[in-house]
Amino acid sequence: MLTQTKKEFIEFMMSADVLRFGKFVTKSGRNTPYFVNTGNYKTGEQIAKLGGYYAKLVTETIGEDFTAMFGPAYKGIPLATSCAAALYNNHGISKPYFFNRKEEKDHGEGGSLVGYKPVNGDKLIIIEDVITAGTAVREVMPILKGCGDVEVKHMFISVNRCEVGKVPGKTAIMEVQEEYGIEVHPIVTVLDIHEYLKENGTDPELLKDMEAYMAQYCVF
């Protein structure tokens, strides 16, 4: 269902040039009529608003039932940081956050994690941008599980593209859930974006292209 919050978030992404329409090629080599690039957020106002959307989704979904939030390098770093700030500013919830380095530090304290250091029994959540093939999750889970006996049951993302993963008939998100027991919560889905465009009298050709792409690559 296209809620007011979802409409506002779609408009927010479009105004920041994060959600774009045209002809693009995804990392997995698919020709797509829409593209989400969270790397285009670049102002204090944008990152503050973005953190607010993530924090709202976290509190509505799991409340305070987690120990710390993790942002996978690189795009997850500002996402987790802004979410942590918004949780405190908007909801009075102060939780630690941390992220990984792509290359392990060999001086000072060393290690690959920056910020909070997880311990046995922690309930960790992941703050990420978009899941297309699930590659990032597969890369970070060994890092998180290497911290100790931790639980990772929830992941929060901007957009669920609902695209098929490695296994026919299953989205990358379904695969992540089956492989790791992680439930993925998006702020919006591709269906929400399509519905928004339809409601707002968008170019019929774009709608056709989106529908063709969804028919070929999406699983609902």
What is the reported pTM? 0.92
Residue 185 catalytic? no
Please report, rounded to a whole number, the percentage of residues in the chain having pLDDT higher than 90. 77
**Residue from 91, 105, 194, 208 carrying the catalytic annotation:** 105
pLDDT for res 107: 46
Distance CA(100)–CA(73), nearest Å, equals 6
Residue 27 catalytic? no
Residue-wise pLDDT tens digits, 20-76: 999 998 877 889 999 999 999 999 999 999 999 999 999 999 999 999 999 998 899
Q: What is the DSSP string of 88-143?
A: HHHH-----EEEEEEEEE-STT-EEEEE----TT-EEEEE-SEESSSHHHHHHHHH
Residue-wise pLDDT tens digits, 101-149: 876 655 444 468 999 999 999 999 999 998 877 778 888 899 999 999 9
3.40.50.2020, 3.30.450.20, 3.30.1340.10, 3.40.120.10: CATH of 4-217 = 3.40.50.2020
Q: Is 17 left (phi over 0), alpha (psi -120 to 50) or beta?
A: left
The DSSP H or E segment spanning 188 is strand 183-189
Residue-wise pLDDT tens digits, 76-97: 999 999 999 999 999 999 999 9
pLDDT for res 105: 54
Predicted confidence (pLDDT) at residue 163 exceeds the cutoff of 50:
yes
Q: Domain limits of the chain? A: 4-217
**Residue from 56, 95, 102, 107 carrying the catalytic annotation:** 107
Q: Which of helix, strand or coil describes residue 185?
A: strand
Q: Which amino acid is at 80?
A: A
